[in-house]
Structure 1
Amino acid sequence: MSLTLLRLPILAGLCAALSLAACVGPAPAPATQPAVDASPTPAALPTFTPAVPVTHAGLYVDASLEQGLISPMVYGTNYGPWLFVPLQMQPAVAEANLGVIRYPGGNWGDRNDMDEWNLDQYIALTRQFGAEPYIHVRLLNGTAEKAAEIVRLLNVEKGYNVRYWSIGNEPNLFGDGYEPEQFVREWRQWAEAMRAVDADIILIGPEVNQFYANPTQPHQLELERWMVEFLKANGDMVDVVSFHRYPFPSSQLAGPPSADELRTASAEWDQLIPYVRDLIRQHTGRDIPVAVTEANSSWAASSGGDTTLDSHLNAIWWGDALGRMIRGGAYMVNQFALAGDFGMLTNYDVRPIYHVYQMYKAFGQERLYASSDDPLVSIFASRRADGALVLMVINLAAEAREMALQIDSLDLPATAEVTLFDKDHPAEALTPLQVSEGIRLQLTPESMLLLVLPAP
């Protein structure tokens, strides 16, 4: 994300606004998550669980068909020195259950050097909200030595144990003749210097500003060239392959999308994550986790409209997009951003997109197979550690939907806990629902419905 449309850094009084400790001790042990080893040794490629074709009418779930673990890093966001979380909004952030917070987010980190005070306050913020830190070091007009010194300061001297690191932000936008060949060479130089300080850090890249499945247009093909050159040169060193995605606006002159454009945009994730995986395998000979480290519906600040960043429909779109990324096995997803013009909260209230994270708080740790025959209605299924079956049903349509729900490999009837997010219910618990064979769900317009069925 380019920050040319965003405010300049506002640092004065940030410490008081965050109410953070002046001194920060060593980091606690990270939360349990799917393992990602630093610089993994190439091995035989794993076999992905094949998708099951949609052969069922309505909504379908097979509670016995496991699809893989869900990484808690998919519930991430971005934060930067130009943003702040006021005291009155800190409880709301804590309740969002964020998995990771990327910093400094956007191109601020390639225009400025981070100082020790910035970094200490950021680490304190991640601790306060129970999230993993993830730091992008300066590449443009930076040096490998400065990047390594940040790793030494945080992980050796201060013992913060920051695991996630990336090098540069959206390098394809650096301009002035900066080409992939220079980027991949410098990325490796920075990575080697940083790993020499701490061999256990997890390196994420290349962080291109957009990406497309099956590109055809020149700018789309150019983005793929950046990705491919990076994978060829640094596929042996990178631990998580990343890109950014903002589907709108389609040009500098275009405004927010229409409601129909936004409703159908989330379907691209069903092709995008597998496409990146295929590129990784083709050019590195191994499987590497995939991250979407900046994402929202728009790369341009917008507000006050039916489909702008602060709209209800944008939140429902994001809930569906996030569900599709989870279903596709993404390792990390970072919404842009925690606060500010693109944020999930203002100085005094939360925006609709915040409630998406409240809804996913109850989602499980293991993906299960689920399908829908309606392109505007999605269903995502998971199993929690306590054995509960969790279903997320999302209706992107402007109209109510009534849909049959079939659940195989589960004893019914069962009583489900119900949470609803629509225009009238901001992630509110409703009366429990008796789920039996042949049940038909009533889905309100532009809604997310969460059903939690306890373990037998």
Structure 2
Amino acid sequence: MLSLLLAFDASQADETVINVTTQPPLGTVSPYLFGANYGPWALLPVGLWDQAAESGITFLRFPGGAWGDQNDLQPYHIDPFIKFARRINAEPLIHVRLEGGTPEQAAQVVRYTNIEQKYGVRFWSIGNEPNLYKDYTPEQHAKDWRAFALAMREVDPSIVLVGPDISQYPPRPNDYHAPLRNWIRVFMRENADLVNIVAIHRYPLPTQFNAPATTIGQLRETAKEWDFIINDLRQVIREAAGRDFPIGVLEISSHWSKTLGGQATPDSFFHAIWWADVLTRLVNHQVNMVAYFMLASYGGTDFGLFDRYKARPTFYVYPLYKRFGKTLLRAESSHANLTVAAAQNEAGQLTVMVVNPYEEDLTAQLKVDGASACPIKEAWRLDEQHMAEAIALESNEPVLTAPAYSATLYVLESSCR
């Protein structure tokens, strides 16, 4: 029986190949890809700050969600946020109030933050999910956003502006969210000269009120939607503005509703594998900026990477990617069930992220530029037994194992020929 299993593994490895192409590199992995939302309404307890600082979370959007359009930011909000962002070494973005706010108020937030306090916050956005405002049109939004942007730039011309932060984006051509493309078109026609990064939000589930509990299969399928979404968004931007723009996803998770305790809810283990799958696709699509919703949540909600006392499983995707590297390479899997990405890290080592969101264990031969890869030096795994932990290697041969429901980062020897 053992010999049959070994033969099966060897046969499967022969059939499944992960190909990495090192030249030319695809580009640089954005340092703002590994972010989260954070706000006064969902603070991270001080006892968890060290874990957050060591996690690889590199970017924070503040104040996160609708709170920023329901409240005026004050110094007693901004000062602790900047302290926290610096403490965990994360780049801050501040969202100023659009609904119920004025250009003058937004300019004053910039003035306090960057002129009076000299905090040097580069990234700014205006409003949150304006398509959900009552009796509000794309045309009015584009006009209002422009007035805010000009007032803010007058105070600090160096700021980088992100928008329009619409609440969803269609995952297929005829989806019921398809009208939201027009929000992007109108916004870009009016503001392509001011905006620097085009941002959307996306929560695929539930698709209707009172929907049954999400299954693993349903959640898994939503990860694939990002391949369409990013390509389609780029096309819409190009048609409206005449050129490409960096893309941000400034709110993202699986569910817009408060749901917990299920097999595929944001507090579940499988949700971590889903997020690894989604984030790996966004890495490959060279998205510039991503902020998971939220960094922390508690009190009956489950959408935070942390609860009040500890990290939830999805948090552990970040320590895996902390070791990924900055130079993005082309990676492809011959097996449709594997989502893969590759990079070169600062030490010159090739790294390969392998995500298996399915219930079948898989094994793959690794090829680099058409030849056998260098030996594996180390591997780090996220599965039900390992929370982004180093795993023992049975062999250093370039054969990559991908157990069911797992994400594994492989690091290869830097030189072997």
| Residues 413 and 72 of structure 1: CA distance in aligned 2, closer, same or farther (over 3 Å) | closer
Distance 2:286 2:213 in 1: 29
Report Cα offsets for 1:299-344 as digits up to 9, x if no partner: 1122111101001111100001001001001000100000003101
Contact map agreement 1:264 1:376 (CA 8 A) in 2: no
Equivalent position of 1:429 in the other structure: 390
Counterpart CA distance in 2 for 1:58 and 1:209 is 38
Q: Deviations over 1:254-302 (max 9, x none)?
A: 1442111111211111121121111111111122100000001111122
Match of 1:233 in 2: 190
Match in the other structure for 1:403: 364
Q: What is the TM-score when the length of structure 1 is the normalising length?
A: 0.84
1:214: how far off? 4.4
Give the structure 1 partner of residue 69 of structure 2: 110
User: Shift of residue 385 of structure 1?
Assistant: 2.0
- Equivalents in 2 of 1:202, 1:100: separation in Å? 14
Match of 2:147 in 1: 189
Are the counterparts in 2 of residues 301 and 309 from structure 1 also a CA contact under 8 Å? no
Identity %: 39
How far the C-alpha of 1:367 sits from its partner, in A, is 1.0
Distance 1:378 1:221, change over 3 A: closer
- The alignment status of 1:78 with 2:37, answered yes or no, reads yes
Residues 3-152 of structure 1 aligned to structure 2 (within 5 Å): 57-152=16-111
Q: What residue number does 1:53 align with?
A: none
Equivalent residue number for residue 350 of structure 1: 311
**Counterpart among 279, 284, 288 of residue 327 in structure 1:** 284
2-side partners of 1:448 and 1:309: how far apart? 17
Asked if structure 2 preserves the Cα contact closer than 8 Å seen for 1:63 and 1:410, the reply is no
Counterpart Cα distance in 2 of 1:248 and 1:213 = 12
Structure 1 letter corresponding to 2:140: Q
Distance 2:121 2:400 in 1: 44
RMSD: 1.6
Pick closer, same or farther for the CA change 1:213–1:282 going to 2, 3 Å.
farther
1:307 aligns to 2:264 (yes or no): yes
Q: Does 1:242 align with 2:214?
A: no
Give the SS at the match of 1:308: coil
Q: Secondary structure at the match of 2:290?
A: strand
Q: Deviations over 1:346-395 (max 9, x none)?
A: 12111000100011010010111111132221111011122110001111
Residue 169 of structure 2 corresponds to which residue in structure 1? 211
Displacement over 6 Å in runs of 4+: none
> Are the equivalent residues in 1 in contact too, given 2:37–2:60 (CA < 8 A)?
yes
Q: Secondary structure at the match of 2:360?
A: coil
What's the CA shift for 1:431?
2.2
- Structure 2 unaligned runs (5+)? 1-14
Q: 1:417 to 1:282 in 2, by over 3 A?
A: same
Counterpart position of 2:6: none
Residues 413, 102 of structure 1: alpha-carbon distance in 2 compared, 3 angstrom cutoff: closer
Residue 92 of structure 1, CA deviation: 1.1
- Aligned-residue offset at 1:149: 0.4
- The correspondence for 1:287, drawn from 238, 244, 256, is 244
Q: Retained in 2: the 8 A contact 1:418–1:433?
A: no
